[in-house]
Amino acid sequence: MVRFLDVGQGDGAWLTTPDGRTILIDCGPFSYGPRLVSALQQAGVQRVDVLAPSHAHADHMGGCYHIVRSFPVGVVLWTGQTDSSTTWNQFWQEVQSRNITITQLVAGQVFDWGGGVRTRVFNPQARAPSIPFHQYDDSHVLLVEHGAIRLLFVGDLHRPGEAMALRAGLRQAHVLKVAEHGSQSGSGQGFLDAVAPDVGIISAGANNRFGHPHPEVLTRLASVAAQPLATAQCGTITVTSDGASYRVRGERNVDGRCSGVSPPTVTSPPPTTTSVRSTTTPSTATPTPPTPPLSLEVRGAGPNGTAMVAVQTNPPRPGVSCSIRYVTPAGTPSTAADLNPKTTDGQGRASWSWRIGPRTQPGDGTVEVTCGNVSARASIPIT
C-alpha cells in the first residue's frame, strides 16, 4: 500500500509492504514532520526500514528530520546531493550522528524490499566524482514493482533528468508521482509517452504560489490518457495493490474524481524493462487474468550492450524447442549467431542474450519467440 500524503506544498509517500515493512519516499516539509511521526505512531509503526529522500530540497526531505529523531531507521537511500540549507544540514547531521547506514543510489541498482516488492533505480547516473549534482535533474527515479504493478517516483525531475532515466532503460508505470508538483519544467511529452501512466499523482498545496500544477502538464497527462489526481483536492491518495491489479482512493472525493479508479488488469509478466503494455480500459470489476502459455521477459540495451530475452512456458514444459526472431528498430531481421533455437530447461524456461550492433539505431525492436506451436511477441527497447 502506498499513501501519497497530503503534505501541502511538497512531496511525501508512505509505503507499507505486504510483509509489514515501512518505507518513506520523501517526508513533506519540515513543518509536516511531527504530523507524519504521529500518523506512523498511531499506525503502530516502530521502525522505518527505508528512508529515501528524492533530493535535498526542504519541501521533500524537511520532515525526514523528525523521522530520524523518532524512529530507528534501517537505511537512508541517498542521491549523493547535499544542500546549503539549515533544513538539509540538520537532517544530514542527525543521520550521521546516529550511524544510520547510507546507501548511495545509482542507476541500475535493484533493491528487494521483501513481500514481492522490488525497486529499480534509474537515476542518478553513475558519474565521475568531479561532476557536481544538479538538484532537480539528479532527483532519484525509483520504480517500485509489486508483482506486475509498477509505481514510479521521480522527485522534482526536470526534462534533462527524464532523458537520462529513459536512456537508463525506464519504461512504463501504472502510477506516476508527477515531477515537481506538476511543474512545467518536468513531465515532458516524450517522458510521459514512454511512461504512459494510468494515473498521475500531483502533490502540491492548494492555491500555491508556484501555480502548480501547470495547465500544460495536465494537457500532456490527458494526451497519454493519464488520470490526474491532486492531493490538494483528494487529500492523501492511497494506492493498494495485490500484485496483479491496483486501486486508487482519495481521502476526500471531490466531484467523484478522487476515488473509484479501478484500473487495468495486467496481462504481462513482471517485466524488467519491457515495452509490453496492458490495455487499460477502466472497469468496475477486475477479472483475474489468464496466464498466457508463454511469458516473455525482455531487457533492451544500447549499441554494444547485451540484450536479453527469457521465455517461460506456462504451465512449465521442459524439453520444448523454442526459436526466436529479433527485428531491429530499423525493421531488419537480426542474424546474430546467439539467436539459435534453444530447448527449455527443467523449469520450462529458455533465454537468449546477444550483443546489439554498434550502429543499431535506437527505438523499439521486436522479438517473437515460438515454443512448439505457440508464439509470443514483445517489443524490446534499443536505447
Residues in touch with Zn ion (CB under 5 A): 59, 156
Q: Looking at beta carbons only, is 156 or 297 nearer to Zn ion?
A: 156
Q: Looking at beta carbons only, is 60 or 174 nearer to Zn ion?
A: 60
Q: Which amino acid is at 26?
A: D
Q: Looking at beta carbons only, is 83 or 242 nearer to Zn ion?
A: 83
Q: Looking at beta carbons only, is 13 or 339 nearer to Zn ion?
A: 13
Beta bridge partners of 301: 382
Nearest-angstrom CA–CA distance, 286 and 283 = 7
Q: Looking at beta carbons only, is 6 or 59 nearer to Zn ion?
A: 59
Q: In Å, what is the CA distance from 347 to each residue of 13, 58, 260, 317, 351?
A: 38, 49, 40, 7, 12
Scan for cell 541498482, then name that residue: 109
Burial 54-74 (b: 16+ CB within 10 A, else e): bbbbbbbbbbbbbbbebbebe
Nearest-angstrom CA–CA distance, 338 and 116 = 32
Q: Looking at beta carbons only, is 228 or 270 nearer to Zn ion?
A: 228
Least distance to Zn ion, CB of residue 210, Å: 9
Let me know: does 91 contact 118? Beta carbons within 8 Å.
no
Query: Which helix (DSSP H) or strand (DSSP E) does residue 108 occupy?
Result: none
Long-range CB pairs of 274-282, under 8 A, 24+ apart, other chains included: 274/171, 274/298, 274/299, 274/378, 274/379, 274/380, 275/171, 275/172, 275/300, 275/364, 275/378, 275/379, 275/380, 275/381, 276/378, 276/379, 277/172, 277/196, 280/198, 280/225
- Burial environment of residue 377 by CB neighbours within 10 A (0 to 12, 13 to 18, 19 or more): middle
Q: Looking at beta carbons only, is 54 or 172 nearer to Zn ion?
A: 54
Scan for cell 568531479, then name that residue: 130
Q: Looking at beta carbons only, is 205 or 348 nearer to Zn ion?
A: 205
The grid coordinates listed for 97 are 550522528
Q: Looking at beta carbons only, is 79 or 379 nearer to Zn ion?
A: 79
The grid coordinates listed for 123 are 537515476
Q: Which amino acid is at 340?
A: N
User: What is the DSSP-derived secondary structure letter of residue 301?
Assistant: B
Instruction: Provide φ and ψ at 295, rounded to 5°.
Output: -110, 135
Strands 175-177 and 149-153: parallel
